[in-house]
Structure 1
Amino acid sequence: MSSARKLLARKSAARLPWPSRPEGLRPRVGIRIWLTALFVLVTALAAVTAYELVRPILQDTLNRASEASFRQVGEQFEAQLARNDGQVSVDQVKSFAASRGLQWGVVRAEDGTKLEGELGGNLDDWSARAVQRAVAEQRPQQAIERVAEGNPREGQLRATYASPIRIEGESGYAIVFVKFFTQSDIENVQAALAKIDRVAMIAAALALMVAGAVGYFVATLISRRISRLGLAAERLAAGNFDERIRSRVEDEVGSLGETFNSMAASLKSAFEQVEQEKERGQAILDGMTDAVVGVDRELNPVFLNPRARELLESAPPEFHNRLQEVLAKTRYSGPITEPEAEAGERIIEIRAAPLEDGALAILRDVTEERQIQRAKAEFIANASHELKTPISALSGYLEMLEDEQDEEVRAEFLREMRTQTERLQNLARTLLDLSRLDANAVIFRLEEVDLEDLLHELRRDFSYTGRPLRIHAEEGVPPVETDPTQLHRTLAILVDNAIKYSPEGTPVDLTLRREDGGVVIDVRDRGCGISEAEIPHIFERFYRAQGSSRADGTGLGLALANEIVGHLGGEIRVQSEPGAGSTFSVVLPLKKSEGAAGGRTRRQARVS
C-alpha cells in the first residue's frame, strides 16, 4: 500500500502499558495474610512493651520482699524503745540482735569507729553514711548497699540500721544493726524472675496464637466483603452498571458498599448520557455534507464519516499526499486552511486543526461554490462590458452633436442615441429581472391562460417586423394555469431571437401541442442553428453562440427565459442543427382548474 493511501488503511500498533513490568515480579499478598500479620505484630509489640514495663517493677517488688524483714528491724527497735521510755540495756540489745540474726554495735559518728568492749557488740562492717546521717538528723536511718569489691562479703547486700543514742549524757553516737543478704537470697530473687520470664513467654506465645487466629478470622470476614467489592468493581469496569452490593452490617465496609452502589448508579446514568451524546455526535458527523477526518499522532485515521470515506476512496493519490501534508503541518503550526486542493475534477477546501493526540480535518467540496464565484466574476465583467459599449456610444454621439450643424446628421445621431438608450434600458431591465428572480422577489400571478390566444397576441405584437409568424395549434389543448405576463415575455424572447438569427423573409413557426400530461409550445426558425457543443451553454448569462455576432444581443435573453420558465414549473428544450435552424420548446405542466367549468380564476403566489 502506497503512502498516499495511509488515510484509508488504519495501522494496528501494539502498545505496552506504562510502566511495563513483568507480571511475575509483582508481589501479590492477600489481605488475610496482611491483617493476620498485623494482628500478631501488634500483639507481640504490646506484649514486649508490657513486659519491659512490668519486669523492673516485679524485680523491685521481689527485692523489696526479700529486704522486708530487715526494714521491720527499725520499726521493732523503735517500738521497744518506746515501751522502755527511750531506755534500753546492753542485754536487751544483744537479745534483740540475736533473735533476728543481726550484728550490732555502737559507733561514734565523728570518726566512724566502733566502741570497744561490751558496747562494741559483734559488728564488723556497716554503712558509715547511715550513721552520720542518723546523728546529724537525730532520727533513725537505713541503707541497703552492695558490699564493695575486695571485701570478704563481696557480692552480698549489706543492710544497715542506725539510730542515735546518748551514752553517759554524751551525743554523737548511734546504735547500729547490720544484716547481710547472702548469694542464695539474691539467687532466689533471680530464680523468681526467671520463672516469671518463662511464664511471660508462654503467655506471650499463647497470646500470639490467639491473636493470629482471631486476626485470621477477622481478616477472612473483611477479606470476603472486600473481595465482593472487588468483584463488583470488576463487573462494573466490564460494563455491568446494574451491579450492586448488599451488606447486612452497617459499618465502614457497608458504607463503602453504599457508596459503590451510588457510584454505579451515577456511572450508569453518565454512561447512558455519554452514549446518547456519542450517538448524537455520530449522527451529526454521518449527516454532515462536509467530510470529517480524524487522525492520531502517526496520521493513521481514527474516525471517518461516510462523506469522508466516499471522498477519500474516489480521490487521486495527489490529494491524499496533500491532505497528509496539511495534517502533519497543523500539528506544529496550529490551525491551517487550504482553500483549494484539487481532487480530480473537484476542488476541496481543507480546514485542519491540531488535537491533543492527533489532528482533525474538515473537507468541504467547494467546486460549485468556486464555479459560482467565477460565474459571478464573469457576469460582472460581461455586464460592465455590455454597459460600457452603449454608454461609450452615447458619449461619442453627444460630443459629435455639439460640433455638428447638419440637421440630417444630427437627426441620425439622435436616432442612434435613442437605439443605444433603449439597449441600456433593456439591459438594465433584464439584469434587474434576473437579480429579482435570483432573490425570489418576483410575484407570479397565476391564472388559467388560453395558450392559443396568447400565441395570436404574440403574432400581433411582432407584426411590425414584417416577418410571418405561423401558428399551428392542436385541438383540445386545455388552458394552463400560469402567469400570462411572464409567459408572454418568455415567448417574446424566443420569437425575437428566432427573427434575429434567421434570414429575412423566412417564417417563424409557433406550434401548440400536448405531450405526456403537459403542454408544449415550439418556436422554430430557419436560421444559422447552434452546434451541439454549445447547446449546454446557451442558457448561461452573457453567453453568445458562434454566428450570433451579426445580431444585436447581450446574451441575457435566453438566461432570463430559462429562469422564468423554471419558476413557472416548466422547462425549455432545444433542438438545433447548424445551417438548418433551431427549435426552442417551452414545456408547461397541466393543472386541474380550481373554478367552475369554463370559468377563470385568479390568485397570487410567491415563488419560493
Structure 2
Amino acid sequence: MNKITEASFQRTYIIFGAVFVLFTVAITMFLLLIYDSTIMFILIIFAYSLAVIILAYIFITVLGKKVTRSIKTIDEIMDNAISGKKNMYTGYEENMLSSFESKMYRFIAMSKSTTDEIEKERNKIKSLISDISHQTKTPVANIMLYSELLLDGYKLNQEQKELASGIKLQSEKLRWLIESLIKMSRLETGIINSVNKTLMPVFQTISTSIGTVFSYAEKKNIQIQVCCDEDIKAYHDVKWTSEAFVNILENAIKYTPEWGKIDVIVSQYEMFTRIDIKDTGIGINEGELNLIFKRFYRSADVSQYDGVGIGLYLTREIISSEGGYIKVKSKLNKGSVFSVFLPNTK
C-alpha cells in the first residue's frame, strides 16, 4: 500500500477513535450526573468506559492491520500476475483473494493475447506497406523516365508532346500519392519508429524545407522570408519535421497567387518553440479550420487545385508524434498562418 493510502487510513482510524472516545466519555458524564454518585457506582462506570475504550482501540488496530495486509496482498497478487508468477491462495479465509487472483491472471492473459494479435497485424501491415513501396516504385519511376525521354529525345508534334507531358505529370502525382499514403499508413500503425527527437536548431530544418520548395515558389514569383535566430532549438526529428514544413509550405505556395509572400517567423517560449508560416493566399473558410487536418478532406473552394487532402493530415501526425501541436488562423482572401509548436524541454 502506498504511503498516501496508509496515511488516509490512519487518519480515518484516529477520527473514528476520537469520536468514539468522546461519545463514551459524554455518556459516562451523563450517567454520573443523573444518578446518585456513590464511589462504587463511579468505579463501575469508569471501569466499564475504560474497557469499552480499550476494546475499541484493539478493534480499530486489528482492523487497520487487516486492511493493510489485505491491500498489500492484493498488490502482491497484481505484481505476480503481471510478472507471470503464480502464487494462488487456496484457504477458506483467502477464497475471495483466490478468486481475485484467478480473474487477474485471466485478464493479463487476455490482454497479452490481444497485444500479440495487434503486433502480428502490425507486422503484416508493415510487410504489406514494404511490398507496395517496393512494387510500385520501379514502375512509376520507369513511366516518368520514358515520358521524359519522349519529350527530350524524340521529335513529337504538338499533340504528342501534350500527351507525353500529361503522362509525366500524372506519373509524378501518382508517385507523390503513393509516397504520402505509405507515410500516412506508417504513422497510423505506429510503424515509424525512426522519429528520433533531439535538441536541434530549428533554422537548419526550416532551411532544408525551403530548399525543397524553392523552385516551386520561384515559378510563381513568391518570396519566402525567414525570421529565426540560429540559436533557437527544439526537440524534433529533422527529417520528419522537414517533411511537415514542406507540406505546409507547398500548400502556402499552391494557394497563394503569383507575386505573393510567405513569412516564416520563429519564437522561443519557455516550454515550446513556435514556428509561424504565414502566407498571403486565398485563405480558409472559418467553418473549415477544424476540418482541414482530416484525412482526404478537401474544401469545395479549392477543387480547381491539385491535391488529395493528405498533406496537412500527415503534418499533424508528424508534429503530434514529436510531442508538439499545430494551430491555424485564416481570413478569406487575406491569407493563413499555420503555427507549429515543438517542445524545447523534455
The TM-score by the shorter chain falls in which range? 0.5 to 0.7
Are 2:214 and 1:463 equivalent residues in the alignment? yes
Q: TM-score, normalised by structure 1?
A: 0.32
SS at match of 2:336: strand
1:496 corresponds to 2:247: no
Aligned positions of 1:16-27 closer than 5 A: none
Alpha-carbon displacement from aligned partner over 1:499-556 (angstroms, at most 9, x marks no partner): 1112221101111111232111111112222223222221111001231212111100
What runs of 5+ residues in structure 2 fail to find an aligned partner?
1-89, 106-139
Give, in whole Å, the separation in 2 of the partners of 1:447 and 1:273. Answer: 52
1:437 is matched with 187
Counterpart Cα distance in 2 of 1:566 and 1:520? 14
Other-structure match for 1:386 = none
Q: Find 1:566's aligned residue among 320, 343, 346.
A: 320
Rg (Cα) greater in structure? 1
**Structure 1 unaligned runs (5+)?**
1-268, 285-390, 593-608
Shift of 1:446: 4.0
Alignment counterpart, residue 546 of structure 1, candidates 282, 291, 300: 300
Q: Percent identity?
A: 27
Equivalent position of 1:450 in the other structure: 201
- Matched residue SS, 2:284: coil
Counterparts of residues 19-418 of structure 1 (less than 5 Å): 271-277=92-98, 407-418=157-168
* 2:223 partner letter: P
Q: Decide whether aligned partners of structure 1 residues 476 and 469 sit closer, same or farther in structure 2, where only a CA change above 3 A counts.
A: closer
User: Greater relative contact order: 1 or 2 (C-alpha under 8 angstroms, separation 6 or more)?
Assistant: 2
* CA distance in 2 between partners of 1:431 and 1:416 (Å): 22
Secondary structure at the counterpart of residue 566 of structure 1 = helix
In the alignment, is the contact (CA less than 8 A) between 2:199 and 2:344 conserved in 1?
A: no
CA contact (8 A) 1:543 1:555 kept: yes
SS in structure 2 at match of 1:462: helix
Counterpart amino acid of residue 207 in structure 2: H
Q: Name the SS for the 1:497 alignment partner.
A: helix
Give the letter for the 2:97 counterpart. Q
CA shift at 1:582, angstroms?
Answer: 1.3
> Which structure has more strand as a fraction of its residues?
1
Residues 138-164 of structure 1, C-alpha deviations (whole Å, 9 max, x = no match): xxxxxxxxxxxxxxxxxxxxxxxxxxx
**Is the 2:274–2:340 Cα contact (8 Å) retained in structure 1?**
yes
1:112-133 Cα shifts (integer Å, max 9, x gaps): xxxxxxxxxxxxxxxxxxxxxx
- Note the C-alpha offset of 1:570: 1.1
Structure (1 or 2) with the greater helix fraction: 2
Instruction: Specify whether residues 278 and 546 from structure 1 end up closer, same or farther in structure 2 by C-alpha distance, changes over 3 A only.
Output: same
Match of 1:531 among 269, 281, 285: 285
- Partners of 1:551 and 1:478 in 2: how far apart? 35
> Could you tell me how far apart the structure 2 residues matched to 1:283 and 1:427 are?
47
Shift of 1:490: 0.7
Aligned partners of 2:331, 2:102: CA distance in 1, in Å? Answer: 55
Deviation at 1:572, TM superposition (A): 1.1
Q: Cα distance 1:510–1:273, how it changes in 2: closer, same or farther (>3 A)?
A: same
C-alpha contact 1:512 1:520 (8 A) present in aligned 2? yes
Q: CA deviation at 1:589?
A: 0.5
CA contact under 8 A between 1:477 and 1:519: conserved in structure 2?
A: no
Distance 1:283 1:436, change over 3 A: closer
Does the Cα contact within 8 Å between 2:271 and 2:345 map onto a contact in 1? no
Q: Is 2:241–2:319's contact at 8 Å kept on the other side of the alignment?
A: yes
On the 8 A contact 2:280/2:335 being kept in 1, the answer is: yes
For residue 575 of structure 1, what is the amino acid of its counterpart? K
Shift in alpha-carbon separation, 1:454–1:278, aligned structure 2, 3 A: closer
Q: Residues of 1 paired with 2:345 and 2:239: CA distance?
A: 18
TM-score where L is the length of structure 2: 0.54
Provide the residue aligned with 2:259 in structure 1: 505
* Residue pair 1:512, 1:519 contacting (<8 A) in 2 also: yes
Deviation at 1:590, TM superposition (A): 0.8
SS in 2 for 1:533: helix
Name the structure 2 match of 1:484: 238
For the residue of structure 1 that corresponds to 2:302, the secondary structure is: coil
Q: Aligned equivalents of 1:276 and 1:453: distance in 2?
A: 59
Q: 1:477 to 1:532 in 2, by over 3 A?
A: farther
Q: 2:175 is matched by which residue type in structure 1? A: Q
RMSD, matched Cα:
3.3
The residue aligned with 1:237 is none
In structure 1, what is the Cα distance between the partners aligned to 2:231 and 2:170? 41
**What SS does the corresponding residue of 1:547 show, helix, strand or coil?**
helix
What is the aligned residue count?
212
Q: Is the 8 A contact 1:528 1:547 kept in 2?
A: no
- Secondary structure, counterpart of 1:492 in structure 2: helix
For the residues of structure 2 that align with 1:441 and 1:503, how far apart are their CA atoms? 38
